[in-house]
Structure 1
Amino acid sequence: MLFSIIRENWRWRHQVWNLAKIDLVKTYRGAALGKLWLFAKPAVYIFVFWFALRFGIRSSADVNGKPFLLWLAAGVFPWFFMSDMITTGSDVYRRYPYLVNRIKFPLSLISTFYTLSLLIIMACMMAFTVAVSAIFGIYPSIYLLQLPLVMAIMFIFWVAWSMMLSPLGAISRDFAKLMKTLGTPFFWLSGILFRLDSLPHAARVVMAFNPVSWCVEAIRDCFVYDTWFWTQWQDLVPFLFVLVLVAALAVHNYRRLHTEVPDVI
């Protein structure tokens, strides 16, 4: 089944790319500012968090010699991608019922092109971060070269996440609502607004199995920590374990439930 899913995605790769672009256009159609909305919401969130942490909680010291604002942006921008995957991405079949009910369209492609459309937005945000940092005299280091690899790993993980949970979300609306509820806990407990190395050792070990935490820290390795993410094996190994587990469950759920999904949508 895994190889069948991979073959489907490869055979329909051009359609996947076109559907991802169409989804982006549809998302911002009718908005006067158009693609500027890609950055408006994240920028507002970053400003609010920076202001609160800088002047309220006062825990906004520089990180590894880099401005706290860059550290914050490197966590919040990928969070918007992952937030959509945790909520809408886990119930993506209900978002595109017209594709679910098309007999010749493979269901696995829906998760792929939806994740790709969100990843394109995240890539724009990463480019924006690089450009703004350069304007303020913070130039990219060699460690930024690993960013495409980090994003590719994130893409694979969150496609598998969507394929694992979307069949369950299609069959049970309660499950879909549960996943939407988990968005806020993931945000506050994943190290987006605090440094993971400030946690006790036991908590740090547990957090290593949180995929959101790994993704955020890997992005920060590119922009702030100036290190190769694969050298952080104590974080990488637990993440790879979770990735394999999610991929295995994705294949299992897809094989067992994909024939039932059109009947309940």
Structure 2
Amino acid sequence: MLLSVIKENWRWRHQVWNLAKIDLVKTYRGAALGKVWLFAKPAVYILVFWFALEFGLRSSSDVNGKPFLLWLAAGVFPWFFMSGMITTGSDVYKRYTYLVNRIKFPLSLISTFYTLSLMIVLVCMLAFTVVVAACFGIFPSVYLLQLPLVLALMFVFWVCWSMALSPLSAISRDFANLLKTLGTPFFWLSGILFELDKLPHVARVIMAFNPVAWCAEAVRDCFVYEQWVWADYTSFLPFLAVLVFFVFLAMHNYRRLYMEVPDVI
């Protein structure tokens, strides 16, 4: 089944790319500022969090010799990508019912192009981060070379997340609503606004199996912590285990339920 899905995505790769671009255009169609909104909302969030932590709680400080604002951006930008996958990405068939009801259109492609559309935004945000940091005299290190690998692992994981959970969300409205409630808990419990190293040992062990935490920390490894993501095997190996689990879960649910999805949408 896995090889079949990979072949489908490769055969339809041009359509996937075009649908991802169309999805981005549709998102900001009719807005006078257009693509500016890709950066406006995340930038506002980052500035609000920075202001609250810097002047309100007074709990911000440089991390590994890098400005706290850079550390914050390297976590919040990936979070916006993951937030979209946790909420809409886990119920993506309801968003694209017109494609679900097309007999010859492979359902696996829907998860792929939706994830790709969000990934394009994330890449633009991270590129913007590099440019702004350089303007303030903070230049990328050799560890930024691993960013494509990190983004590739994130892409594969969240595509599998979408493929595994979207069929269940299509069949059960309660399951879809449950997943949408996970956005806030994941945000506050995944180290987006605090350093995971400051947690007790038991909490760090549990957090190692949290894919949201790993994705945010992996991007920070590229920008702030300046270490190879595989060097900390206590977090890298648990993430790989969760990734493999979701690959199998995605293939299992997709094989068993994809024929039923058009009937319940």
The alignment's TM-score, normalised by the length of structure 2, stands at 1.00
| Match in the other structure for 2:264 | 264
**Deviation by residue 1:190-218 (Cα, 9 ceiling, x = unmatched):** 00000000000000000000000000000
- Aligned equivalents of 1:59, 1:220: Cα separation in 2: 19
Structure 1 residues 53-92: aligned runs within 5 Å: 53-92=53-92
| Match in the other structure for 1:173 | 173
- Aligned equivalents of 2:30, 2:136: Cα separation in 1: 34
Is 1:12 the counterpart of 2:9? The answer is: no
| Match in the other structure for 1:255 | 255
- Aligned equivalents of 1:218, 1:144: Cα separation in 2: 11
Amino acid at match of 2:17: W
Amino acid at match of 2:68: F
Aligned residues: 265
Structure 1 residues 168-247: aligned runs within 5 Å: 168-247=168-247
Amino-acid identity (%): 80
TM-fit CA distance, 1:13: 0.5
- Aligned equivalents of 1:113, 1:42: Cα separation in 2: 22
Secondary structure in structure 1 of the residue aligned to 2:65: coil
Amino acid at match of 2:243: L
- Aligned equivalents of 1:24, 1:149: Cα separation in 2: 23
TM-fit CA distance, 1:56: 1.1
TM-fit CA distance, 1:26: 0.5
TM-fit CA distance, 1:57: 1.1
Secondary structure in structure 2 of the residue aligned to 1:46: helix
- Aligned equivalents of 2:233, 2:167: Cα separation in 1: 33
Secondary structure in structure 2 of the residue aligned to 1:259: coil
TM-fit CA distance, 1:221: 0.3
**Deviation by residue 1:209-252 (Cα, 9 ceiling, x = unmatched):** 00000000000000000111111111000000000001100000
RMSD of aligned alpha carbons? 0.4
- Aligned equivalents of 2:32, 2:179: Cα separation in 1: 32
**Deviation by residue 1:47-70 (Cα, 9 ceiling, x = unmatched):** 010000001111111000000000
Secondary structure in structure 2 of the residue aligned to 1:231: coil
| Match in the other structure for 1:131 | 131
- Aligned equivalents of 2:28, 2:147: Cα separation in 1: 26
Amino acid at match of 1:30: G
5+ residue gaps in structure 1?
none
Amino acid at match of 1:161: W
TM-fit CA distance, 1:169: 0.6
- Aligned equivalents of 2:23, 2:134: Cα separation in 1: 31
- Aligned equivalents of 1:227, 1:236: Cα separation in 2: 12
TM-fit CA distance, 1:116: 0.2
- Aligned equivalents of 2:46, 2:213: Cα separation in 1: 18
**Deviation by residue 1:34-89 (Cα, 9 ceiling, x = unmatched):** 00000000001000100000011111110000000000000000000000000000
| Match in the other structure for 1:22 | 22
- Aligned equivalents of 2:185, 2:46: Cα separation in 1: 18
Amino acid at match of 2:114: Y
| Match in the other structure for 1:103 | 103
| Match in the other structure for 1:146 | 146
Structure 1 residue runs of 4 or more that deviate by more than 4 Å after TM superposition: none
Secondary structure in structure 1 of the residue aligned to 2:39: helix
